[in-house]
Each structure stands twice: as structure tokens, then as C-alpha cells.
A and B are shown apart, each in its own frame.
Chain A
Amino acid sequence: MRVRSSNKAMGSFVGQRPALSWAVHLSMLFIVFLWLFPTVGLFISSFRTADQISSSGWWSSLSTQEQQRSPIRITGTETQDKGLYVVVGKLFSSEAVVLRAWGTSSKRPNEYQPGATAQLKRGRSLTIDADGRYRFTAQQSQAGKRLPRVFTTASSPPEFTFRNYDYILFQGDNSDSMAKAFLNTFTVTIPATIIPILFAAFAAYALAWMEFPGRSILIAAVVALLVVPLQLALIPLLKFHNEIGIGKGYLGVWLAHTGFGLPLAIYLLRNYMVSLPRDIIENARVDGATDFQIFTRIILPLSFPALASFAIFQFLWVWNDLLVARVFLIDASGQTTVMTNQIVELLGTRGGNWEILATAAFVSIVVPLLVFFVMQKYLVRGLLAGSVK
């Protein structure tokens, strides 16, 4: 009896697992989609022109589109040919656009097939081919008169441009350029990631493995600092920086990020290091290693996952930071602007130019994405550290 009931329990447990894993997979899919949709959208939009963005969504830009276009007025220089006044030209700038139908009146925009000739009033006629070449003829000179408008329905293949990137990154003289901000952001981020890790690793080792009076009070203080909001420290710290002569600048922002990042760094790294087996460290001590040797040869290599995962966090947080940069770095000259700040400015000056904004935004997320994909293995390992033996 007992055996059978336990069998049944096991059966139902096993039976639940596929359902559970389906639920997990579905929610994973949902999250992936939630993340992918805006990211891919931003990516694609950054390669489109202002016209494309305003006329269709990014999801439709991947396939050939047939759509009615805004009316185009015939223009060109008039020539004389066999007593007729002739204007020739081309409707579309791109070779890839194919005309499907056209008309000269807004009421019947699809009146004519490509290649057909429309007879207009006052002896004028217009022929348009599938590739958009037109030939307009008239009995009298049309100089000074308005030529007719053409309504077109055309299909265009996917079309992307690098012009936005060229504008944002390589036209160094314009005030919308992200190039300088990009470099500045690196100048802020790399030291602001490395310095706290360096300090925190040493501190974490001492707090985890060295005996000294007041150790537990220090640990408690670090934990307490975790919950202090950094806004509290902005003004006093800035005043302090001004008083000791650092002022606004890279050094100030590095120190600020280091200070704000240290509690979490020390806390995470100490927890990880404490979980390393005591026997290994004692064995190193018996082997004659000093604390410094234990730290560099045993603890640091073994703590790599934790170091990497904190580095990713700190890097992303500093990269995306606007507040600390505004307070401690960016001055009136604008020479030290960072990307987050530059995007805010673009929103003000180029609020309507979505292609510019999308490109700027994508430039600013491309590095975090790269960092994340390259380091994700360590991120996961570092977060799971200690929970799985």
C-alpha cells in the first residue's frame, strides 16, 4: 500500500515536469520577445531614413513593400523635340523602386499602368515607365507654369542607410556628434569599474579571511552603507571635491563612482570569498604562503566569477549613469559630456528626428550589449556562486 502510493506520487511528480518546463520555456520566450522587440526596433530604425520612419514601422522595412507614395511634382528642364516641348526625368532616386500604378488626380491615383500615356488637358501628355522614368510633352512651352503632380503606387525592396551613423559618429564638427561623448564615456567607465574592484577585492579578502579586531563591525558598516541612497552624498561630496581642489572632472567622477560602488562590491566579493573552502586557505598557509600570496595566487583566481559579475554590474551602471556624471563631471564647457547626457541634449534639439535619436541610442547600448554577451557566462556563474557546489 505504502509502496504503491509513493509510486503514484513519484509518477505525478515526473508527470509535472514537462508541464513545468513548458511554462518555463514559454515565459523565457516571452521575456526574450519583450527584450528583443524594442532592441531590434531601435537597431533597424537607426539604419532608416527620416521618411521611411515616418511612413512605415520598422517591422515592415524588412520585406518588399507596395505602398502609395506622397505625390511627386514633375520637374525638369524643357527641351524642344519635333515641335513639342518635352520634359524628361525620373520619379524615384533609387533604382530598386518599381512603379506599380500611377495617376494624375488624387481621386484616381491608380488610373494608369506603368508604360501607359495619360492625355492631359491643353494638349499635354505624360508617359511613365515601370522604373519611374517619365516623359512629359506639351504643345506650348510650360515655362512659368506648374507641371502636374503624379500619384504613384510603387513597391520598394528593403533599403537601409549608414548615413545616420556617419552623421552621428563621423561628422566631428556638428554639435550632434556622439563621437566625443562615446570616448568620454569610456574614459569615465573603465577606471570607474577597475578602481572599485581593485579596492574591494583587497577589502573583501581582509574581511573574509584575516583576523583583526573590529572586523565584524566593519562588515556591518559595509552592509549598512549598501542601503544609503547616493543622492544623500551628492552635494556634500561635490563641495568636498571643490574644497580639496578636484572640482568637476574625470578624477572626481572616478572617485564618486568608486565610493558609490564599493559597498556592494565589498559585500558581494566578501560573501563569495567566505564561501571558498577554509581548508584550501589553511593549506596555503601551511605551505608557507603569506596573506598577500594567498590573495593573489589562490583567492583572486578562484573569485574570478564574482569579480567578473561585479565588473559587469558596475560597468553597466556607470555606462548608463547620468546623475553622477552631471554632478561630478559635466561642466559648462560641454567638453566632458557623456553619451547619456548627449542623448538628453539631442532629445531637446532634434526631438523630431527619430532616425538621429535611434542611432544615438543604439550607439550608446552597443557596448553594454557586447559586454553582456561576452561576459554572460561569468555573470550567471557569479550570481549562482555559493548556491551550487
Chain B
Amino acid sequence: MTELKLTNVSKRYGNNVEVLRDINLEINQGELVVFVGPSGCGKSTLLRMIAGLEKISGGTLEIDGVRVNDFPPSLRGIAMVFQSYALYPHMTVRENMAFALKIAKKSKAEIKEAIDNVARILQLEPYLDRLPKALSGGQRQRVAIGRSIVRDPKVYLFDEPLSNLDAALRVATRLEIAQLKEQMPDSTMVYVTHDQVEAMTLADRIVVLADQSIAQVGAPLALYERPNNEFVAQFIGSPAMNLLSGTISATGPQTTIRLDSGGTARSNVPSSAAMQGAAVNVGVRPEDFSLGDANAIADSGSAAALFSGQVDITEALGEVTLLYLPAENGRIIVKLPGIHQGLRGQNIALYADPAKVHIFLAGQSLLTYKDHA
């Protein structure tokens, strides 16, 4: 069942500053959808439009089948958790959680029951009578989440809820949120972050925002394995996917690309005969490279190397080793599992499984490429 539906939603500030356009998105009940994108791409703006804190400049927003464009936040059935937690500093934890319920004129007994219940789930019982300033960052975060849960909203909105926490706490709280979601399978959540690890681990579906609109929507692994465009390909995954320019030299169910750097790439992405000679970018994730002997590049045929060069820098992280090879624009990054010593300064050849080689034509994946001409 569709809980949240955005149709052609856009946002302008004044007359000329367009922040978002043509946002089309459906979010189902019980889903946890994560908005990711680089800083300033409009994630918070989109979330705040859903919340009703920001006017919707164009398009329609429906919650539970009702058009809510002109509803005030309180009538939309949403609850929001702010990055800064936004706890009321002069109220105790209990009062913070009771605020919305008191405004809604709920009975004392009802309020108490709701708060006690949530406090138990979030282990906030010992802190109910404290002021926010007497809580640690993680506890404040839990109060902010608890405050939204007591209202029992249709949709939860989170705006970078973990970004004010330190690294260790961030991981712990991320797991808590994942657990919480499991305890409330029917609640719909929209979660904004710029951190792709949070996005990959928490999301049922990820919405990648870029360039004022949605770059791709999909399950985390779908985005990883089949990015629609170069932006998503490079945004998801760390380190980012390598892109090498080349021209298509053979088409068919498999595509062969002659790279400008001299290597040859072979991909399982099919191509039509019309694409022969088209200029494309080949994308290979750092972890999809395998090493070979540099001299093998001379051979043509199945053993042809994708890229060869001299290792410039190595970074040993223990579980992986990163190799950097200078290329015509920037560096090729290779991620090898385990520890590899003595590779620095060596000439190496890089190979990749054709199933893991992506092809982008004019920035779009060849898998989904539609000719706009």
C-alpha cells in the first residue's frame, strides 16, 4: 500500500533559484527509504516539504491517499527527528515526550502509558526526569526518537539523525535504529543522510538525489550492482568506481571496448550494432579488479588486460590494500583483499570479470540507455 506519493514535486526559492524539480516517488507502508546525495543537493528540503515545514512549489504530495500540500505539519500524520535533536531544553525528558500529546489533548493516563512504553523500548526509563542538558549525545538522540514514536505517526522523517554523534556511537545508534525498525514493521520511515554506509545498511530502498532531481531509486545492492548513471556509480561504493574512457569496438550480447589508455575492456552488458564506435566510459569498482602480469597486455584475445601501469601509492588498511595507479585523468584505484607488500613502484596489469564491468554512454548506463536524440 502506498503511504507517501510525490508527483512532479518541485521547489523554488524566489523566482529563479530552483532546488528540486520533477520529483516522482512512491513510498510503501513499512518501507524505510533513505535519501542520499552530496551536501546541498536538497535532501533536507525534500524532507521538510514532506513534513510541511517548507512550501511545495509545484506538484502534489499525498500521504495515505490524501493530498496534503496545504496541510500544516501537525495534520499530516508525520513525526520528525532533527539533526540537532531539537529537544525542548527547559523540559524534562518526560515533558519533551508528552508535549505533542498534551497539545493533542490526550488524557493523562494515555500520555503516561505511551511514554512508559516508549521509554522501555528505548531504555530511557532512568532519564525521564532529567533535563536534556544532563544527557549524553546518544541519549538525547534516543529521546528525540522516542518523542516521535509516542505520537504514533504514519511516517517518520529523520534528517541526518546520526551526524552529530561520534563514530563509535554512530554505529551503535545505527544498529539501534535498524532494530527499532524491525520492532515496528508497519511504520514508514524516510531517512536523510549523506553517509552512504548508513544508506546501504538501513535502507529498503535508496533514493539518490543529484542535480536537483532523483538520480536513481532502488534497493541498496541494486544501486551497487546496476547503477543507472555515472553519478550513482561513483556515489555508491567506497572508494568510488573507476571510470576509463574508450570506444566500443565490438557489439553484441557482450561488448568490447578499446580503452584510450591502451587496454581492452570486455563487459557482459549487451549493445546494439548501432553503437559500434561510440565513445563510452567503462566503469570498474576498485574491488572488482584482479592483478595480472604487466607483460600480458601485449597479447590480444581473452587475456587482454584492462589497464596497466605503475603503482604510485599504496595504502595498507589491513583487511584491504589500496593501490593507486596514475591514469590520464586522475588515478585508478584498486582494492585488493588482504595484505600485499612490495607492490609500490611495480608495473601491474589489471583485469576484471566481464560481469562486473559497467558501460556508460553520455553518463547513462548502457543497460538503461535511451536515445534522447
A interface vs B, CB < 8 Å?
A: 277, 279-280, 282-289, 293, 297-298, 301-302
> Across the interface, which residues of A come within 8 angstroms of B72, CB to CB?
285
What are 25 of the A-B contact pairs (CB < 8 Å)? A277-B86, A279-B84, A279-B85, A280-B88, A280-B89, A282-B53, A282-B80, A282-B86, A283-B80, A286-B51, A286-B73, A286-B74, A286-B78, A286-B79, A286-B80, A286-B100, A287-B74, A287-B151, A288-B74, A289-B103, A293-B103, A297-B99, A298-B88, A302-B89, A302-B90
B104, CB-defined interface residue at 8 Å: yes
Interface-centre pick from A279, A283, A284, A298 (highest chain B CB count, 10 A)? A283
Total contacting residues, chain B, CB less than 8 A: 23
The residue on A at minimum CB distance from B82 is: A279
In the assembled complex, the CB of A388 is this many whole angstroms from the nearest CB of chain B, namely 14
- Tell whether, in the assembled complex, residue A283 and residue B82 are in contact, meaning their CB atoms are under 8 Å apart: yes
What is the bound-complex CA distance between A286 and B88, given in angstroms?
13
Q: Describe B's contact surface by its main secondary structure.
A: loop
The residue on B at minimum CB distance from A276 is: B89
The residue on A at minimum CB distance from B95 is: A297
> Across the interface, which residues of A come within 8 angstroms of B151, CB to CB?
287
What is the bound-complex CA distance between A6 and B51, given in angstroms?
51
> Across the interface, which residues of B come within 8 angstroms of A288, CB to CB?
73-74, 100, 103-104
- Among B39-54, those with CB < 8 Å from A are 51-53
Which of A283, A284, A301 is within 8 Å of B90, CB to CB? Answer: A301
The residue on A at minimum CB distance from B80 is: A286
- Tell whether, in the assembled complex, residue B100 and residue A287 are in contact, meaning their CB atoms are under 8 Å apart: yes
What is the bound-complex CA distance between A376 and B345, given in angstroms?
70
Which of B53, B84, B104 is within 8 Å of A286, CB to CB? Answer: B53
In the assembled complex, the CB of B50 is this many whole angstroms from the nearest CB of chain A, namely 11
The residue on B at minimum CB distance from A281 is: B86
The residue on B at minimum CB distance from A302 is: B90
> Across the interface, which residues of B come within 8 angstroms of A279, CB to CB?
82-86
In the assembled complex, the CB of A327 is this many whole angstroms from the nearest CB of chain B, namely 41
What is the bound-complex CA distance between A277 and B83, given in angstroms?
12
The residue on A at minimum CB distance from B101 is: A287
In the assembled complex, the CB of A242 is this many whole angstroms from the nearest CB of chain B, namely 46
- Among B52-85, those with CB < 8 Å from A are 52-53, 72-74, 78-80, 82-85
- Tell whether, in the assembled complex, residue A287 and residue B99 are in contact, meaning their CB atoms are under 8 Å apart: yes
What is the bound-complex CA distance between A277 and B84, given in angstroms?
9
Given A285-B53, A288-B104, decide whether A280 and B86 contact each other with a Cβ distance below 8 A.
yes
- Tell whether, in the assembled complex, residue B82 and residue A282 are in contact, meaning their CB atoms are under 8 Å apart: yes
- Taken residue by residue from 143 to 178, chain B's Cβ proximity to chain A (1 for < 8 Å, 0 otherwise) reads as 000000001000000000000000000000000000
The residue on A at minimum CB distance from B148 is: A286
- Tell whether, in the assembled complex, residue B73 and residue A285 are in contact, meaning their CB atoms are under 8 Å apart: yes
Q: Given A284-B99, A302-B90, list of 17 further CB < 8 A pairs?
A: A277-B84, A279-B83, A279-B85, A279-B86, A280-B88, A282-B53, A282-B80, A282-B86, A283-B80, A284-B88, A285-B73, A286-B78, A286-B79, A286-B80, A287-B103, A293-B103, A298-B88
What is the bound-complex CA distance between A278 and B87, given in angstroms?
11
